[in-house]
A and B are shown apart, each in its own frame.
Chain A
Amino acid sequence: MTNNEISKFTNTLLHLIFIILTITCLLPIVLVFMISITDYDTIVLNGYQFFPEKFSLEAYTYIFKDYTVIVKAYGVSIFVTVIGTLLSVFISSLYAYPISRADFRYRGIFAFLIFFTMLFGGGLVPWYMVYTQVLDLKNSVWALIVPMLLSPFNVLIMKTYFQMSVPPALIEASKIDGAGELRTFFRIVFPLSLPVFATIGLFNTLHYWNDWFNSMIFITDTDLYSLQYLMYKMISQADYLSRNGALIQGSATELAKLPGETIRMAMALIGIGPIVLAYPFFQRYFIRGLTLGSIKG
């Protein structure tokens, strides 16, 4: 076992390197946090500081003044992320699995279809028309889910994975043992392909969690804003109003007074939210995914 041990010096060096790396990752977050609790006038006078002269929770008071809106947006984002991820992983795999099978007669056509849409998009306007006029999803929570259900790129990744790591002989064997197509897929292929499901799942989770564009395009009802869009909107609104302060007559005075920079930082912290928790959950599958090729099968 001594072979695997590293020298004390190397060990310390490695530790040191990783400690520095960790600090460079964490420091900006700490700074963001400190700015978010700094008094805005202090920032104007002194710039960003790790230990500001004057603290203020104004940014948080502003954001949480209307905490129902934030809570709702959190709800929408979590719903969209969970449902969207489950549905999109499911649908992607249902598309990818058949075209990964050599004995599927129409695989050429379907593989071409998905490949084609990856190369040629319809453009923004037709895309918008499909969801607003054909599917009538404007101002509906499904408008945040449906447009991102199937990503050609994910399908191709899954297809490749199925082809590489599920031996056709295995599928044949399960067929001989009396399993139907569905049972083969759910009981044989799915457990064997957990790493790719986790990967695509993580992709989609991040994708859904970070999406603000669909909210911006399709949603005008405040109750259906996703968290990221709400943040984005609050910031761009604060920006706009502070730049055009003189334009805003009486009615929006309160808005024009917002402490811009500190709000931005406070929101960044709020926006990180639960997605930080999602990663470790997926991570164990990645570790398994990495070991997968190490044993000759």
Chain B
Amino acid sequence: MAIKKGTGLMLSLVLMIGLTLSGCGGNTNNTKNAAPEATAKSTAAPAANATETAAPTEKTNELEQVELSLYLPGGPDKDVASVEQEINAYLKDKINATIKINQLSWDKPADKVNLMIQSGEVFDMVYTWNFMTNAAKGAYAPLEDLLDKYAKETKVQINPAYLQAATVNGHLYAVPTEKELGQSVGFAFDKAIVDKYGFDVNSITKLEDIEPMLKVIKEKEPGMSPLFMNHTDSLNWFTAYPESEDLDGSNEIPTLLDYKTMKVFNEYDTPEILERLKLIRKWYEAGYINKNGATDKTELKDAVKSGKAWFVYGNMNPTSTNDWTRLAEKPMIIKTLLPVQVGTKSLQGSMLAISRTSKNPERAMMFINLIHTDPVLYNLLTFGIEGKHYKKLDANTVEFIPDSGYNSVSSWMIGNVLLNYLNKDEDPRRVQLYKDWNANSKTSPVIGFVFDSTKVQSQIGALINITKQYKNTLYSGEKDPEPILKEMNSKLKAAGLDAVITEIQTQMDAFLAAK
């Protein structure tokens, strides 16, 4: 009888678990939940495979023909096949490989790649989404030997900071795109307005400096929002702590590292943030900020284009003047505010990795070397075929042919952007701009540090929710910041912010000690 009772209990337990599981499983969208079970198994087997094939050294002319698959974001473009054909003809003599370009579109490409990785699918090269997680799981092949052997030219020219940022647990797991180092935050102003009122945008050195301009706009341009905000872009772009770096993996919770003291702190619990939020509140009360800033869905560029706003703000890069002019469809002037910061995260922005499951990692590395050093191949990949997808205006300047069926492989995804032809819309000084930008950028003292969040995963989840709940209200200026900040901080504390900060600090100390 006792046994029977036990079995009955067991069965009902199994049933209950089953029901809960099927509840989760029913939502096929939820990749993350379903993932972990299969991961360990599927990545272990192909790993052995990769180390075997990495060894042999052949000469280029004796290579047997192989097909390499390449997975990129964007597209898919209609005419990708003809570009593939052209690339393959070109690659024949170089590395005797053919390329299959798989464009994953912008819609959840990371989920698709995660599925491929977890199911142990055989593929060669992939743009790295969730780089840290996948690298730690062993999804990518270690590249340091391959880089030394098959990509010497790339290794010489690439900025060492990039390789440092792509190194996890002592192994290089990806080759980053060579482009601008880091990003800066700033404004892009509508030139017509700036000229009309004679604003001196170059005099802006901190956020407060735009106040007189907001006042002028408020008085003289009744139809215009002096400071336009939407639900994704608010003044939290402009940190109140320039000498710091956000360290947690999520980028959504208040954990800043102070460069001077190397201590991690909660930025919402400092006098600086209160002062900043009071300023925003003041602007809101003065009517500079639109009333529904925390929820508005209008993109900044559209607001400027339609004449509802007169500037955009956010991340800026060396060619922002042209980018924003193009997007807002009117001349724009850029003013960057903070020094260009180079942190691990900005360096990991776009990288190409070789899969553990690749059957030909050395050939893939040869290909990667070529897109970093061979302008013919690189332009073919990023611009398509001359006459079909773009027209040449002069030796180095090109113009895209609209609706040509090949336009989604952008140079920032892959390779070395300085090899690119100049687009008609681009600043002719592009190469110089990039070089200046990189020369002026400030490298983070903790490049290569990557926070392993596994121990505090649940706290981070809770903290993200709290931060999201309050951030927009605080930065929209709708309410008095002081009590809200207080409430937020007590909630953050209750949700375990201190534990997360301690964990980051411990890992940071260990990282610094090892250095």
Q: Chain B residue with minimal CB distance to A121?
A: B25
- Known A217-B112, A251-B410, A254-B402; judge A243-B315 contact (CB<8 A): no
Chain B: CB-nearest residue to A68: B78
Q: Which residues of A (9-49) have their CB < 8 Å from a CB of B?
A: 40-42, 44-45
User: A160 interface residue, CB < 8 Å from B?
Assistant: no
Decide if B423 touches A121 in the complex (CB within 8 Å).
no
Quick check: is B105 within 8 A (CB to CB) of the other chain?
yes
User: A240-283 vs B: 1/0 string, CB under 8 Å?
Assistant: 11110111111111111100100000000000000000000000
Taking the closest CB of chain B, its distance from the CB of A144, in whole angstroms, is 14
Contact between B323 and A123 (Cβ–Cβ < 8 Å)?
A: no
Q: Is the CB of B408 within 8 A of A251?
A: yes
If A65-B403, A246-B324, A251-B409 touch, does A119 touch B19 (CB 8 Å cutoff)? yes
A64 CB to closest chain B CB (Å) equals 12
Q: Is the CB of A44 within 8 A of B298?
A: yes
Contacts known (A44-B306, A44-B308, A119-B19); A253 close to B326, Cβ less than 8 A: yes
The interface stretch among A128-136, A165-173, A194-202 is A128-136
Query: Of B31-39, B133-141, B235-243, B450-458, which stretch is located at the interface?
Result: B31-39
The residue in chain A whose Cβ has the minimal distance to the Cβ of B21 is: A120
Answer whether A119 and B107 are a contact pair too, CB < 8 Å, given A125-B115, A250-B400. no
| Closest residue of A by beta carbon distance from B115 | A128
How many A residues have CB within 8 A of the partner chain?
50
Beta-carbon contact of B119 and A133 below 8 Å? yes
B37 touches A123 (CB 8 A): yes
| Interface check B426, CB cutoff 8 A | yes
Complex Cα–Cα for A203 and B467 (A): 41
A120–B424 CA distance with the chains assembled, in angstroms: 57
Interchain CB contact under 8 A, A124 and B299: no
Q: Please, which residue of chain A has its CB at the minimum distance from the CB of B102?
A: A220
Docked-complex contact A220 and B21, CB < 8 angstroms = no
Compute how far the CA of A250 lies from the CA of B323 in the bound complex, rounded to whole angstroms. Answer: 8
**B336 close to chain A: CB less than 8 A:** no
Residue of B104, B115, B400 ringed by the most chain A CB atoms within 10 A: B115
User: Are B119 and A45 in contact, CB atoms less than 8 angstroms apart?
Assistant: no
Q: Which of A77-85, A92-100, A185-193, A229-237 contacts B (4 or more CB under 8 A)?
A: A229-237
A237 lies within 8 A of B105 (CB):
yes
In the complex, what residue of chain A is closest to B399 when comparing beta carbons? A250
Determine if A245 and B327 form an interchain contact, defined as CB atoms under 8 angstroms apart: yes
A42–B120 alpha-carbon span in the complex (Å)? 49
A251-B383, A251-B409 are known contacts. Are A124 and B303 too (CB-CB below 8 A)? Answer: no
Contact B299 A249 (CB under 8 A): no
In the bound complex, CA of A213 to CA of B37 (Å)? 21
A residues in contact with B102, CB < 8 Å = 220
Is B29 in contact with chain A by the CB < 8 A criterion? yes
B507 contacts the other chain (Cβ, under 8 Å)?
no
Closest 4 CB pairs of A and B: A250-B423, A121-B25, A124-B34, A125-B38
A40-B302, A118-B22, A251-B407 known; 5 other A-B pairs, CB under 8 Å?
A: A128-B119, A132-B119, A245-B323, A247-B410, A251-B410
